[in-house]
Amino acid sequence: MSSQPAAAREAPNHFIRQIVVEDRAAGRHGGRVATRFPPEPNGYLHVGHAKSICLNFGMAAEFGGVCHLRFDDTNPVKEDLEYVRSIQEDVRWLGFEWDVLLHASDYFETFYLCAEKLVRQGAAFVCDLSAEQVREYRGTLTEPGRDSPWRERPVAESLELLRRMRAGEFADGARTLRAKIDMASGNINLRDPAIYRIRKVGHQMTGDAWCIYPMYDYAHCISDAVEGITHSLCTLEFEDHRPLYDWFLRQLDLPGDPGLTAPLRARGLSMPVSTPQQIEFSRLNLDYTVMSKRKLMALVADGLVDGWDDPRMPTLSAMRRRGFPAAAIRTFCERLGVTKQNSVIEFGVLEGCVREELDAHAPRRMAVLEPLRLVITNLPAGHEETLRFANHPKDESLGTRAVPFSPQLWIEREDFAEVPPKGFHRLVPGGEVRLRGVGIVRCVELVKDADGHARELHCTLDPDTRHGMPGADRKVKGTIHWVSAPHAREAEVRLYERLFLVPDPDDESGGKAYRDHINPGSRRVVRAWIEPALALALPEQGFQFERMGYFVADRYEHSDARPVYNRTATLRDTWARRA
């Protein structure tokens, strides 16, 4: 018998989970598991972040640990409170709740104390080279760098200059604090990397208190340690930064030097201090998608989409607005697994998870997106009935609803063909079709408009094929959906397709940039007719429009007075067929 809890046995296994299991078995970190999700508040979260969120929160949940949400707000120039708000909303929407909310800026005083410690230990120095000179001295992948002329300046001088940097005595870029590691290292990250730079800008959390800001590699490992993080999970591009991560922690010995974290305790932030382990996994890449925040930001800024939550964007708020259930995104991340192999996942895989979730749980409704009028001529013009429809073919718990029926109907224009192509099983002149939930109609007359287009179909309903009648089971090839014209509500329906026409919009060979590959037909708006129950839906409720796809009531613009639906996904993967 396994002693693991049930949740652990069912959880998908992967190499990071294996490391955590072994660390716990070996009693490392006292058996504790603490992870963090550390977004920089410089944009909205995208589906790539979801992979990291599911992994970090998932590991903590499985092993009874904690997961922190930490805003990595060390670069005030690009950061904004709008992003801080949206990130929290999106993490919660995805189904996770953090144990503590923290900001890297909570540790600014600790970062600074650590810097003075490094200087005193001779492990860091103030450098007067300009940014351009630093680049020159750095060397290349094949050539070693050269030592800064300021590298051997006395400790006391560096310490004094660091204090004066903090006090705001020097201009932006005039000096930096650098680690003293090895300018000949084969790993460029170890060639005396910057620790602090001067930036005289206000910060959304700390205001004007600071004019020097720490670099990511320096701030990240210290943040992890002072929060007691045990496993610091990040994406593969940080693999080459791991030696630096470990170097800083070795130099600083945060667990052994409580003075460094005293400013945190003074503010009521007393957390166990750890020696965290950085572990890298491959990032999520999706085809037909760009995922860099810089590019997403440009799409928004240049008006190529209607904001960060435009349903064509790969952001979580866009997917939410598009009607992707959070559960489907979690399933997707689980199926991807966690590895060190970089790969590009087909967007269709994510859509497949969305369809699976919606097929199982979304109530069914009828809506006509491109209408053609159908009149039943053998019922009195004023005839009205209320039919009962099951909301889901397999899940009775979703109940039933009233669907009004009358002899004036809207059907989908493409469900009629005057000259049917081969294999067409829907309505043709003189032919029969089943009206979903009603019975069999025969098209007895096609009325055309001046241009020769079908304007109206006159049909007769075979009364013997109605519910409960002896002929109710009579077979015809096709069944089509409809809505009753006098009862139907008009709706705005937005049909979304992929934002990009090519699988790899990031590929800039051939002189094109991602913005040259935007799909001009990625958003089409139609006036549709929907059954009355769809007008009453609440924003964000998702449905299957029978035979048409999955749709969601728009989060912001849908109302009973003015229904607005977004297409979440077609019923099947139409892109796979095109390829």
Stretch that binds ligand ATP, among 284-292, 332-340, 463-471, 495-503 (CB under 6 A): 284-292
What is the per-residue burial (b if ≥16 Cβ within 10 Å, else e) of 290-310?
Answer: bbebeebeebbeeeebeebbb
- 546 in catalytic set: no
Site membership for ligand ATP, residue 330 (CB under 6 A): no
Closest approach, Cβ 305 to ligand ATP, in A, equals: 16
CA distance 78 to 14: 35
Closest approach, Cβ 533 to ligand ATP, in A, equals: 39
Identify which of 310, 364, 368 has the alpha carbon closest to the alpha carbon of residue 489.
Answer: 368
E strand residue ranges, 113-254 = 124-127, 176-179, 194-198, 212-214, 231-235
Quick one: 71 or 107, whose CB is closer to Mg ion?
A: 71
Q: Which residues from 15-54 bind ligand ATP, rule CB under 6 A? A: 38-40, 48-49, 51-52
Quick one: 97 or 239, whose CB is closer to ligand ATP?
A: 239
- Helix, strand, or coil here: 195? strand
Rg (CA), the chain: 31
Helix, strand, coil tally for the chain in percent (to 5): 35, 25, 40
Site membership for ligand ATP, residue 86 (CB under 6 A): no
- 178 in catalytic set: no
Q: DSSP of 399-420, one letter per residue?
A: -EEEEEE-SEEEEEGGGB-SSP
Residue 556, CA distances (Å) to 3, 499, 540 in order: 48, 21, 9
- 448 in catalytic set: no
Contacts of 433 (CB under 8 A, 6+ apart): 415, 425, 426, 427, 440, 441, 443, 476, 477, 478, 479, 480
Site membership for ligand ATP, residue 483 (CB under 6 A): no
Quick one: 69 or 368, whose CB is closer to ligand ATP?
A: 69
Angle at Cα 374 formed by Cα 371 and Cα 377, nearest 5°?
165
Instruction: Report how many residues bind Mg ion under the rule CB under 5 A.
Output: 1
Stretch that binds ligand ATP, among 114-122, 290-298, 381-389, 416-424 (CB under 6 A): 290-298
Among 292, 339, 342, 574, binds ligand ATP (CB under 6 A): 292
407 binds, among Mg ion, ligand ATP, none (CB under 5 to 8 A by kind): none
Quick one: 22 or 239, whose CB is closer to Mg ion?
A: 239
User: Chain centroid to CA 438: how far?
Assistant: 42
Closest approach, Cβ 293 to ligand ATP, in A, equals: 4
CA distance 176 to 96: 39
Closest approach, Cβ 168 to ligand ATP, in A, equals: 28
454 binds, among ligand ATP, Mg ion, none (CB under 5 to 8 A by kind): none
- Helix, strand, or coil here: 286? strand
Site membership for ligand ATP, residue 234 (CB under 6 A): yes
Q: Cβ(50)–Cβ(333) under 8 Å?
A: yes
49 binds, among ligand ATP, Mg ion, none (CB under 5 to 8 A by kind): ligand ATP
Among 59, 67, 124, 284, binds ligand ATP (CB under 6 A): 284
Site membership for ligand ATP, residue 293 (CB under 6 A): yes
Closest approach, Cβ 285 to ligand ATP, in A, equals: 6
Q: How many CB atoms lie within 10 A of CB 280?
A: 18
Closest approach, Cβ 369 to ligand ATP, in A, equals: 34
Q: Cβ(490)–Cβ(484) under 8 Å?
A: no
Q: DSSP of 487-499, one letter per residue?
A: T-EEEEEEEE--S
CA distance 71 to 316: 17
Which amino acid, 80? D
Here's the x/- map for Mg ion, 22-61, by CB under 5 A: it reads as: ------------------x---------------------
Quick one: 40 or 504, whose CB is closer to Mg ion?
A: 40
Stretch that binds ligand ATP, among 12-20, 247-255, 291-299, 366-374 (CB under 6 A): 291-299
Which of these is catalytic: 24, 36, 70, 293?
293
Quick one: 164 or 294, whose CB is closer to Mg ion?
A: 294
Among 21, 61, 100, 291, binds ligand ATP (CB under 6 A): 291
Quick one: 39 or 263, whose CB is closer to ligand ATP?
A: 39
CA distance 312 to 500: 9
Which of these is catalytic: 138, 151, 153, 283?
283
CA distance 291 to 297: 10
Which residue's C-beta sits nearest to Mg ion? 40
Quick one: 195 or 234, whose CB is closer to ligand ATP?
A: 234
Here's the x/- map for ligand ATP, 129-148, by CB under 6 A: it reads as: --------------------
CA distance 32 to 65: 6
- Helix, strand, or coil here: 432? strand
Quick one: 298 or 454, whose CB is closer to ligand ATP?
A: 298
Applying CB under 5 A, the residues found at the interface with Mg ion are 40
Catalytic residues: 40, 283, 293
Chain residues in the site for ligand ATP (CB under 6 A): 38-40, 48-49, 51-52, 234-235, 283-284, 291-293
